Structure 1
Amino acid sequence: MYAALAHLQTGSIQVTVGQSVKKGGVIGKVDHSGNSFGPHLHFQLMDSSDIATAKGLPCAFEKYEIIQDGEWQDVVNGIPTDKDRIRFSP
C-alpha cells in the first residue's frame, strides 16, 4: 500500500521515505498548485508507487466534513468517495 500527498509547498516536507508518522504530526505544508482555487491537499491510498497507473484504495477517516447541497456536514468514521469534497474537522 502506498500513499500520495500532492500539492505540498516546495521545501516544506518534514519526513523521509519509510519514516513512521503519528496522528497530529506535521508532514508538510499545503500549497496552491495545479488548476485550483486555493491551497489544498490531494491525498490517496493506492496499490503501487506510480500515481499515474495505480488503483486507488478506500481510506477511512475518523472525523471530517463533507460538502452536501452547499453546506458542510460532519462525518464520523466514514469513507469518502472519489467525487467527495472533504475537509478536516477539528
Structure 2
Amino acid sequence: MFYTRAGRARLPGRFAIDFVKVDDKGRVTAGDADLVRDAFGYGDDVLAVADATVAAVHDGMDEASRISARTTPPVDEDAGNYVALRLSDGCFAFYEHLRKGSVRVAAGDKVRTGEVIGSLGFSGESTGPHLHFHVADGSTPLDAEGRPFEIRSYRKLGHYDDISKLGSPWMPMVDGKSATRVGEWPDGNDVVAFP
C-alpha cells in the first residue's frame, strides 16, 4: 500500500514478507481458528536479523483476543507494536504486529544477531497472527521506501500455489527433499524453515 507523507508517495513494504507459522500439514492452528492465542507462532520469539542499533520502538497497542473481533486502526497505527533496527548499511529492518508488552529493547540499544527483541503478535492492521518484516530507507513505518534484501540462509520446504489455500496442505518440493537457499529472497507463498 502506498502512503503519502509531505507530498511524497512511498511504499514501505514494497519487499515485505509476512511470516505465518504452519505445521507440516499446512495448518495455522491446532485449536480454535478464531482464538489468537491458539495460532501457531503467536508469542514466539522474534529475533534480530543482524548486529544493529534499535532506531524506533512502539509497544502498548492492544490486540483482540479473537481474530473475528479485530478492528481497523487508523492508518498511522497499521504497523501495530513494532521495532525498527538501524542496520550497518543505513537501512532499517522493521518487525511489525508484535504482541503487546513483548518488546524487550528500547531506542538506542545495541542488539546482536539472534537476540530476542519481542514476540510475534496480532497488533495493528493484521488479518491473523504473523510477523511482517521488511527493510526500508527510513526509521518510521510510513515515511520510508521499501528496499530489497536477502535472507542469509533458509530451507525451502515447498509452497502454496495460491495464498488463499493457507491453512491447508502445501505442495512439498518436487524431489521430496528440502533445498537450502543462501543469500536469496523466498518466492511468494514459499514454505520455509530457518536453521
Does the aligned pair in 2 maintain the 1:2–1:47 contact within 8 Å? Answer: yes
**Corresponding residue of 2:184:** 78
How far off its partner does 1:85 sit?
Answer: 4.7
What stretches of structure 2 of length at least 5 have no aligned partner?
A: 1-90, 161-170
Higher helix share: 2
Tell me, in whole angstroms, the C-alpha distance in 2 between the residues paired with 1:86 and 1:52: 28
Taking the TM superposition and a 5 Å limit, the aligned residue runs for 1:49-64 are: 49-64=139-154
Q: How does 1:27-38 map to 2 (within 5 A)?
A: 27-33=117-123, 34-36=126-128
Asked which structure has the greater CA Rg, the reply is: 2
1:1-90 equivalences in 2 (<5 Å): 1-33=91-123, 34-36=126-128, 39-66=129-156, 67-69=158-160, 70-71=171-172, 73=178, 74-80=180-186, 83=188, 85=190, 87-90=192-195
Give the TM-score, by structure 1 length. Answer: 0.72
Query: Between Structure 1 and Structure 2, how many residues are aligned?
Result: 87
Normalised to the residue count of structure 2, the TM-score between the two structures is: 0.38
Partner Cα separation in structure 1 for residue 184 and residue 140 of structure 2: 26
Alpha-carbon distance in structure 1 between the residues aligned to 2:102 and 2:192? 21
Are 1:64 and 1:86, in contact at CA under 8 Å, matched by a contact in 2?
A: no
Q: What one-letter code is carried by the residue in structure 1 that aligns with 2:116?
A: V
The 2-side partners of 1:63 and 1:55 are apart by 25
